[in-house]
Amino acid sequence: MTDAKYHASETGSLTGRVFRPGSPAELSEAIELAFDYRGDITVELKSGSQVTGYLFNRTATGEQPTIELFPATSSGTLTIPFSEVATIAFTGEDTATGKSWETWVAKKDSERQREVERVAADAKARGHL
């Protein structure tokens, strides 16, 4: 691949990265990254045309491996053979960026603390505390 780093950058997002696979193994890896990505990708086909959409499925085995997209500009789905893919660009915003487990836990802890304070205030208002 032209992109020397195969995995997410320090920011944790692939947004803006473009992969130009040089082998079937690199293409498979780029497709797996695109499948895990939570945003739109733009696939440039060997014919020169481009398709933008959300990659929701891939079939890497069989006679003709394929990817399936929900196109950004139309309804329905689009199936593209691996053999037609020239590049994969991560063009849409990654909706999962910044939504780590630690962030979720901190949010839930804050919500629980607010609930404890609310229950204590209610109990105190009723004269139970």
What number of other Cβ atoms are within 10 A of residue 35's Cβ?
15
Residue 85, domain extent: 18-89
Torsion of CA 36, 37, 40, 43, to 10 degrees: -70
- pTM reported for the whole predicted model: 0.64
CB within 8 Å of 73: residues ≥ 6 apart: 52
For residue 6, being part of any structural domain is answered with no
Same domain (yes/no): 22, 54: yes
The number of domains in the chain is 2
Residue 13: per-residue pLDDT: 74
Same domain (yes/no): 50, 107: no
Same domain (yes/no): 23, 72: yes
For residue 7, being part of any structural domain is answered with no
Same domain (yes/no): 28, 81: yes
Q: What is the CATH number of the domain that holds 36?
A: 2.30.30.720
Place of tokens 């229950």: 119
Same domain (yes/no): 113, 51: no
What number of other Cβ atoms are within 10 A of residue 3's Cβ?
15
Place of tokens 């079937």: 24
Of all helices (H) and strands (E), which one includes residue 71?
Answer: strand 66-71
**What is the Cα–Cα distance from 9 to 122, expressed in whole angstroms?**
48
Q: What is the pLDDT along the chain (129 residues), one digit of tens a residue?
A: 444 334 334 456 788 889 999 999 999 999 999 998 888 999 999 999 999 999 999 998 889 999 999 999 888 999 999 999 999 999 987 766 666 667 767 778 888 899 999 999 988 888 876
For residue 27, being part of any structural domain is answered with yes
What are residue 65's phi and psi, to 5 degrees? -60, 145
Same domain (yes/no): 83, 114: no
Same domain (yes/no): 24, 85: yes
For residue 69, being part of any structural domain is answered with yes
